[in-house]
Chains A and B, each alone.
Chain A
Amino acid sequence: MNINNIKKQFPIFNNKVHNNDLVYLDSANSSQKPQMVVDRIYDFYTKEFSNVGRSVHYLAVAATNLYENTRIMMQKYINAKDPNEIVFTKGATEAINLVANTFGQKFLREGDEILLTELEHHSNYVPWHYLRKLKGVKINFAEINNDGEITIESIEKSITPKTKMIAITHLSNVTGAILPIKEITSLAHSKNIPILIDGCQGAPHLKLDMQDIDCDFYAISCHKMYGPTGLGVLYAKKKWLDTLPPYQGGGGMIREVKKEGISFGDLPNKYEAGTMATAQVIAFGESIKFLNQIGIENIEKHESELTKYGEEVLRKNNSVKLVGNPKNKGSVLSFTLDGIHAHDIATILDEDGVAIRAGHHCCQILHDKLGLSATARASLGVYNTKDDLDKLNESINKCKKIFDR
């Protein structure tokens, strides 16, 4: 894999930031887009645009085929059994809300418990929190260990006879910990508990095989997978999509509508009410092509080497403290600097064209546990290089210079 060629496929890197080359280290937040994805959106709107599934004219039929084709590509990409197990949403956030809402409606009662972890993004906590008020359910949090990991033991300890759902992240967007989701799924199933994986940080970086993992639900954010914004995917086993009630109501998801009552349409339409993000779905097909062209194994290898290099460089820098030390770590490097707040770091780095994120990264529970109000986070994507990490380190040293005046 020639990394320089990959960077060339991303037009954003032709731009300067404050007269510097862009060092983009915020891919856990959102990834940049390859030219083929950008072009696909342009081409669709200029040559092929139509709404899908509603009209019989030429453009509508063609657009519908393209839209459904992405569903099939995604099914294959994550090895789902059936294309109908792929539901398009507006993001991973909506995917999780869909499950919390419909599963909660149908299956949860007062006193039932939902098990999350302390690593969860607010997107995998707030939707469940609504069920506290609505249904009187209780939320438990499996605790992290000193390395910022969630072990199978920690999950096992937190399961009670009342646990009705386990919802956990695949890869922490702060500590980088990769959770043993296959083992946790098998543990959950041995106790008859369904499991949802928040795969936002897993999907762009790790090989996904739904048959191997065997989880019930897997939520994906397309904008972190070199795809467009406004789009997510919910993978759900067909048995769930068949039994759960519809989520939003509207056009496209119905079979028959009478004044006396309504019957709902079949999958996948049941969960795709209203006009969907058509152009984004079609362009996301190109993101899957892009990932397949490079090969997810190559991406894993490249990013894992870079992560190790980044850890090494930052460990050598005495004023940097890395947050978390998981044995199985994704390409996320969160850190603090003695005496310099994360936001000041981010502002100073930005001046050099180094884009990182500062704050609690939508993980307040975790930051409270760590006793930190904010951390700085550098996160990697397929286009990053060792040079990017060297520049990160140089800019960190500049922070010290400015603050130690």
Chain B
Amino acid sequence: MDLKELYQEIILEHGKNPKNLGKFENFNKDAKGNNPLCGDKVHIYLKTDENKKISDIKFEGEGCAITMASTSIMTELMKEKSETEVKELIDDFLNMIKENSELKSKNINEDDKIKLMSLSGVKKYPMRVKCATLPWHTLISAMSNKPGEVNTEKEE
């Protein structure tokens, strides 16, 4: 039963056909994330406009269905969001995955909430939580344009 919760249709769909896969020319921020235990890798590219709004976001990467789906869903959600909104969403998502709480953000609609909640199945699979959180940590790093790579084994 838990497996069905983990591999919900939304996840399989995004995992197989991830949105925003690729790279674009005029990005102004980017960051790489790596989960060395699994070999999952993501490279996130951002374009932020003068108001610090994300005007475009894409990613390159390879990994398990969870990593790919999480990155795909995240990139869809972040388009046209302001810096503060992005930060709030990241916090909200990471809290939901790690601390078992609901999503609190008022900046997302019901559809998006359902998509994000579909990733909460990883809670029952502690070894897989990192797969879901990798792109989110990588996005934090891209936003702050920190040099170096996000490494799931160096966190916390």
Would you call the interface of chain B mostly helix, strand, loop, or mixed?
A: helix
CB-CB nearest in chain B for A367: B39
Contact A373 B12, CB 8 Å, known A347-B6, A347-B125, A367-B39:
no
In the bound complex, CA of A351 to CA of B41 (Å) = 25
Contact A339 B16, CB 8 Å, known A344-B64, A344-B65:
yes
Q: Which 6 A-B pairs have the closest CB atoms?
A: A341-B64, A343-B64, A374-B39, A373-B39, A344-B65, A344-B64
| Chain A residues, Cβ within 8 Å of B65 | 340-341, 344, 403
Interface positions, chain B 1-30, Cβ under 8 Å from A, are 2-4, 6-7, 9, 12, 16
CB distance B62 to A373 under 8 Å? yes
Interface positions, chain A 349-371, Cβ under 8 Å from B, are 351, 358-360, 367
Contact A359 B38, CB 8 Å, known A347-B128, A373-B63:
yes
| Chain A residues, Cβ within 8 Å of B125 | 347
| Chain A residues, Cβ within 8 Å of B64 | 341-344
Interface string of A393-405 (1 = CB under 8 A from B): 0000000001101
Contact A403 B7, CB 8 Å, known A344-B66, A347-B128:
yes
- Asked whether any CB of chain B lies closer than 8 Å to the CB of A59, the reply is no
CB distance A344 to B7 under 8 Å? yes
- Asked whether any CB of chain A lies closer than 8 Å to the CB of B131, the reply is yes
B side interface size, CB within 8 A:
22
CB distance A343 to B38 under 8 Å? yes
Query: Chain A residues in contact with chain B, CB under 8 A?
Result: 339-344, 347-348, 351, 358-360, 367, 373-374, 402-403, 405
In the bound complex, CA of A232 to CA of B93 (Å) = 44
Complex partner residue of A374 from B2, B12, B16, B38, CB under 8 angstroms? B38
| Chain B residues, Cβ within 8 Å of A358 | 38
CB distance A341 to B7 under 8 Å? no
**22 A-B pairs whose Cβ atoms sit less than 8 Å apart in the complex:** A339-B16, A340-B65, A343-B38, A343-B40, A343-B63, A343-B64, A343-B128, A344-B64, A344-B65, A347-B3, A347-B128, A351-B3, A358-B38, A373-B40, A373-B41, A373-B63, A374-B39, A402-B7, A403-B7, A403-B12, A403-B65, A405-B9
Closest Cβ of chain B: how far from A16's Cβ, in Å? 16
Contact A351 B2, CB 8 Å, known A341-B63, A341-B64, A343-B64:
yes
